[in-house]
Chains A and B, each alone.
Chain A
Amino acid sequence: MAGAAPGGGASRSEVYRGSGPRLLLPAWIFIGVFLLLPVILMAVYSFLTKEFRGGVIWEFTFAAYDQFFLNRGLFGDEPPTIEWTYLGIFWRSIWQAGLATFFCLLIGFPTAWYVATRPVSTRSVWLFLITIPYWVNLLIRTVSMKFLLRDTGPLNEFLMWTGVIAEPLSLINTNFAVQVGLFYSYLPFMVLPIYAAVERYDFALSEAAADLYCDSWTTLRLVILPAVKPGIVAGCILVFVPSLGAFLAPDLLGGAKTFMIGSLIEEQFKGAAGNWPFGAAAAMILLTVVMGVLLIHARAQMREDG
């Protein structure tokens, strides 16, 4: 955007010159002490020795990471090979999050386009309708989905009533149900940034393409998609990142075979397993991947902005 000041579009005004640091102090104290510091402490915990039934012993060890990545046999005395259990869970999380991102894009892009090309008078109403579900409690939305997908739930009843199926489908506790849950949870996150990008799109570009005998789908592919790419990328990140660490959808809609990294971490602290350093290590690995994605995006954006 031309004319925007550095600092996330902050204005250059200096009316209260000199009091910036003082005004930011409360934000630094609360986020610094109650988020930044805890995350650092969690990193430390991932290198400590586990205490049975939760908690830690303050002795340095790589045991948690060792357990995540390496298999040393039942008694821990065999030469280490790669441990696939947790990498498998991690891979499933990435796959499910990626798939959810793809489906959200498939539905979200046409929706964002359609809403952004409505007349100004009705546009904000459309946008409002898309945003409302985002503000409704995620737990309630996931419970609604669970209710809908049950063996004797409304979806199965409806399909049997129409005669499409004779027997109810077992939908709950499958990867499919988790996928539907993730898609449903984060769909609004895809629509909003794409909408913002389409709203700024200059339709003179489409006219120029049409004058040069470009049909509408080719225009979409060669002109529109590159122009709104930043919005698409932002939407994909906003869906992928929370899907990756999701807990409610896999927990309520899935079962043991659909375990994702969020449930693995939760179980170390809330469940019977109770291995805090291992849970902290798994959380660190998740955090590293997420921060990596965000960093790559930030650098690519900076390069584009010049």
Chain B
Amino acid sequence: MAKTDLRRFAGFRVTTWLCLLVLYAPLVIVAVYSFNASTSITRWGGFSLKWYVDVFTGPEAPRFRDAAINSFVIAIAAATCATIIATAAAVAMNRTGRFRGKMASLALINLPLMVPEIVTAVASLIFFITIGFKTGLMTIFVAHLVFCIPFAYLPIAARMQSVPDMYEQAAMDLYATPWEAFRLVLLPLMIPGILSGFLLAFIISLDDFLITNFVKGAGIETLPTAIFGSVKQGIKPNIMAISTLLLGVSVVLVTLSWVIGRAGQSRN
């Protein structure tokens, strides 16, 4: 009797390819059209890099440049702080035994993932206005830091769970202080997890539109809010060029995070 493969279902492979098509087609189309020489955004007029030149030297270039600088500065600052806070939290959750408020702390760390983004945006705006915190780069940074913490925490905590604590115990048997055991033993073992946590937090900060749009204050833009502002007046070819650039940055960073994560796994 011929044995049928129990893992196979008719149509599942086609559906998977359909899924990939749906996920990638719009992005690929925008990337292709960003190289369009024609000024009309839908007629194909041959290959050209002129919209990329326009992004860097055109009339909107200063606006995009300022927005890009804001975006990257905030993403680096927020992701760095979030990674440090998340690492400390992961040590607390995985290496300090039981204590009061542990479950509540886990819920708190995950809170930014549970509250709908629009609610976080509104609540942050109300809070900053009420306490008289002037909206601007600082408010964007603080808001980003908060929602970056759980994204940094997930890969860091996952990595820490897979590192046994015997190395640190051995270090402490040899009279290392807890701080030395952490810094000289656990931290080096944690580097892949910490790096992927940082990169994910960085991408999440770079991507955020809704919360930023609420707490940014007048005159300050990040790349997503600048792009949104332009799109409201219609999709222009330079928007497709800058979108493609940002898309490229995300893809490179995610790939980097993935490669680092795999390297970390295979070493175990």
Residues of A with Cβ closer than 8 Å to B? 6-24, 26-28, 30-32, 34-39, 41-42, 45, 55, 107-108, 110-111, 113-115, 117, 124, 126, 128-133, 135-141, 143-148, 150, 152-154, 157, 184, 187-188, 191, 203, 206-207, 210, 216-217, 219-220, 241-242, 244-245, 247-248, 252, 262, 265-266, 269-270, 276, 279-280, 283, 286-287, 290-291, 294
Contacts and interface: CB of A to CB of B under 8 A. Distances in A.
Interface stretch (B5-13, B49-57, B60-68, B187-195): B5-13
Contact of B228 (A9, A139, A152, A265): A139
Contact of B19 (A8, A30, A108, A247): A108
The 10 closest A-B pairs by CB, nearest first: A245-B116, A38-B127, A14-B97, A20-B96, A144-B26, A38-B123, A23-B92, A110-B15, A110-B12, A13-B165
Given A17-B97, A146-B235, A203 B15 contact: no
A24 B19 contact: no
B111 interface: yes
Given A135-B253, A137-B224, 18 more contacts: A15-B95, A15-B169, A21-B99, A27-B88, A35-B111, A35-B112, A108-B19, A132-B254, A133-B23, A136-B251, A144-B243, A153-B42, A188-B23, A206-B6, A206-B7, A242-B116, A283-B119, A290-B116
A30 B108 CA distance: 10
Contacts, number: 305
B85 interface: yes
| Most chain B beta carbons < 10 A, residue from A16, A206, A219, A276 | A16
B165 A111 contact: no
Given A41-B130, A137-B207, A216-B6, A23 B89 contact: yes
Interface of B: 4, 6-9, 11-13, 15-16, 18-20, 22-27, 29-30, 33, 41-42, 84-86, 88-89, 91-97, 99-103, 105-106, 108-109, 111-112, 114-120, 122-127, 129-130, 142-143, 145-146, 149, 157, 160-161, 165, 168-169, 172, 178, 181-182, 200, 203, 206-207, 209-210, 213-214, 224, 227-228, 231, 235, 239-240, 243, 246-247, 250-251, 253-255, 258, 262
